[in-house]
Amino acid sequence: MKSAYDDPMVQSLPPFERPKPGDPVALYQASAIPYKLTREDLLICLITSRKKQRWGFPKASTEGFGTVEAAMLAAHHKAGVTGELSDSPIGRYRHLKYGKVCEVSVYGMEVKEDFAAWPEQRLRSKKWIRASATSHLLVKPELQDMLERLRRTLGTHLAS
């Protein structure tokens, strides 16, 4: 299984700057994987990052918020969705942000409302896609891992 430490962006850093499993965490974020279950499939809401336009899931800093609040706010502000979060994180991963180790707590979010307009609509693209069709869009292995964890949590073993 690949980890955040296998990320090509992290690998391009000099060895002394790469995050290691024992490194102290300096920043915390929370993320939501917005989803809808249909009769045929599991649909996932993906958004692009602001700078690199890579597909991923909404996430935000937990500064001033708990992880649940931060994940809910990220989903609303960045993807224009609201819903019900999983009771606990489905997983966590680490990456470098501003040269510091950042730990992200990831929740599943069953979407109840998908708004036509939302705060960061002009900054990001958004798309709903079958979970089985996301692998070519999610370039970071840790995001693919989190999606697979969501599928297992939901008991959804749909065709990949």
CA 138/CA 46 separation, integer angstroms: 9
- The DSSP output letter for 4 is G
CA 77/CA 120 separation, integer angstroms: 6
pLDDT for 8:
44
pLDDT for 21:
59
What stretches in the chain show pLDDT beneath 50? 1-16, 157-160
Decide: residue 81, CB within 10 A, 0-12 exposed, 13-18 middle, 19+ buried.
Answer: buried
68 in helix, strand or coil?
helix
What are the sequence ranges of the domains in the chain?
4-112+124-143
pLDDT for 18:
54
Q: Does 4-112+124-143 carry CATH code 3.90.79.10?
A: yes
pTM: 0.83
